[in-house]
């Protein structure tokens, strides 16, 4: 196997040594080509159909660049062997994702549920997976063990210390995973939210005497831009109300398919049966699951005789008859618990039921200081240096209530009377 250069839409040329190519050319890693990065975001942003494969390569590239930078500015701070381990850890960090990424990482769908981190670990530990065999060919047993210890955030392995910054490069508030997905998701969604200079962020990073990452003071503006970009991505892309709604549609259609399959009213493919009904799902069965297994049956389910299954499936394949959100911006989870019982009779009088009320809760914080925070040269958190970052610390919460379009205006009127009677006469917006 030869060294290669992979052309990437974000980072341009990504150099891949033959040893790393051995890991990429495995069934489990290639599977990530068929796992969409942003789940159902393409219902809002049509071009957001990029996959975990490209993102994983991007994270690998940034990890390589960061390790090379640290070796240059602080000679001896990281060995060549650990640089390779960090790059591999970044490359394989998403290998355990289920179809549609984080969306289907739920026991509402999987009969045998594990987090994507657990599935990834099981893939790498297995002697029956291509990646499990390849990782030992490339690293050997001892260095594979050190890789697992690094993932787990352990401080040593086999009597050799593991500096904290090795884990921080792949998992922290300023890691290569976040840097890549933010740049990639913004580019593919088309969201115009400013962006940040990842090269300057990387150039500002150093390792302190405690073995932790910190940033030079002159890097603060780039870090501010990074955190503001992250805030707006969550606000405008990940938490977009149509994205929240279509995610719920997909979970509901699969949950209903599971119910029908259990009672013998729906025949599933082998892969979907394993996902939805097999309580002893194995790693070898799990790695056969991709987005295609679900996308391939939605058309058929849209014509199924069961109105619940066909209703959700038809909305996804035709993108019409969507529920509409109650247009009250300051709605909280606590408020929604009061509003829902008040609007339920309206739905029932119109032939709907409680199942036609779909809720979503959005809770976000632009930055979490102190706990794995971002430090500057004096050891203090960036939040203590930047009024802009201080403004991102406050947690914000919003509840969404989706209902059939035909009853929205009446339900909104009632909701306003419950929440703030003075708003009850306001016109819809």
Give the end of a domain, one of 180, 195, 210.
195
The per-residue pLDDT for range 314-336, each reduced to its tens digit, is 999 999 999 999 998 788 888 99
Decide: 130 and 27 in contact? Cβ < 8 Å: yes
pLDDT of residue 258: 98
DSSP string, 319-377: --S--EE---TT--HHHHHHHHHHHHHHHHHTT--GGG-EEEEEEE-S---STT--BBT
pLDDT of residue 422: 45
Residue given tokens 């660049």 in the structure block = 65
**In this structure, what token pair is assigned to residue 327?**
């247009």
Question: Does 286 fall in a domain?
Answer: no
Question: Does 233 fall in a domain?
Answer: no
What is the number of structural domains in the chain? Answer: 2
Question: Does 309 fall in a domain?
Answer: no
Residue 200 CB coordination number (10 Å): 15
Question: Does 35 fall in a domain?
Answer: yes
Positions in the chain short of pLDDT 50: 422-429
pLDDT of residue 232: 93
| Burial of residue 111, with CB atoms counted within 10 A of its CB: 0-12 exposed, 13-18 middle, 19 or more buried | middle
Domain span including residue 369: 323-429
CATH for 373: 3.30.70.1370
Residue given tokens 């119910």 in the structure block = 259
pLDDT of residue 370: 63
pLDDT of residue 372: 78
pTM of the model: 0.94
Question: Does 212 fall in a domain?
Answer: no
pLDDT of residue 338: 93
């Amino acid at each position: 196997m030869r060294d290669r250069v992979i052309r990437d839409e974000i980072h341009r040329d990504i150099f891949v040594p033959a040893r790393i190519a051995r890991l990429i050319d495995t069934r489990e890693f290639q599977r990530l080509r068929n796992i969409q990065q942003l789940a159902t975001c393409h219902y809002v942003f049509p071009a957001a159909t990029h996959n975990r494969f490209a993102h994983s390569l991007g994270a690998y590239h940034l990890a390589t660049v960061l390790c090379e930078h640290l070796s240059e500015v602080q000679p001896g701070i990281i060995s060549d062997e650990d640089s390779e381990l960090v790059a591999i850890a970044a490359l394989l960090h998403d290998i355990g994702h289920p179809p549609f990424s984080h969306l289907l990482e739920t026991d509402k769908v999987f009969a045998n549920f594990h987090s994507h981190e657990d599935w990834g670990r099981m893939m790498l530990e297995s002697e029956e997976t291509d990646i499990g065999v390849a990782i030992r060919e490339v690293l050997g047993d001892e260095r594979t063990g050190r890789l697992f210890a690094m993932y787990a955030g352990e401080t040593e392995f086999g009597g050799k210390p593991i500096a904290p910054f090795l884990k921080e490069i792949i998992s922290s508030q300023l890691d290569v995973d976040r840097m890549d997905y933010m740049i990639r998701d913004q580019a593919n969604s088309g969201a115009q939210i400013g962006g940040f200079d990842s090269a300057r962020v990387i150039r500002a990073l150093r390792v302190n005497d405690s073995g932790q990452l910190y940033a030079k003071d002159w890097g603060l503006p780039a870090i501010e831009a990074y955190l503001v970009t992250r805030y707006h991505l969550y606000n405008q892309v990940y938490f977009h109300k149509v994205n929240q709604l279509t995610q719920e549609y997909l979970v509901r259609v699969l949950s209903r398919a599971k119910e029908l399959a259990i009672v013998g009213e729906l025949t599933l493919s082998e892969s979907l049966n394993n996902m939805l009904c097999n309580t002893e799902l194995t790693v070898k069965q799990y790695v056969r699951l991709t987005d295609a297994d679900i996308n391939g049956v939605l058309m058929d389910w849209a014509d199924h005789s069961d109105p619940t299954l066909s209703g959700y499936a038809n909305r996804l394949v035709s993108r019409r008859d969507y529920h509409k959100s109650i247009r009250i911006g300051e709605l909280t989870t606590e408020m929604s618990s009061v509003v829902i019982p008040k609007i339920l009779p309206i739905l029932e009088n119109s032939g709907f039921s409680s199942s036609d009320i779909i809720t979503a809760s959005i809770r976000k914080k632009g930055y979490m200081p102190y706990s794995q925070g971002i430090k500057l040269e004096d050891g203090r958190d960036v939040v203590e240096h930047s009024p802009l970052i201080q403004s991102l610390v406050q947690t914000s919460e919003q509840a969404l209530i989706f209902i059939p379009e035909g009853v929205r205006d009446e339900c909104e009127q009632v909701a306003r009377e419950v929440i703030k009677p003075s708003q009850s006469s306001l016109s819809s917006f």
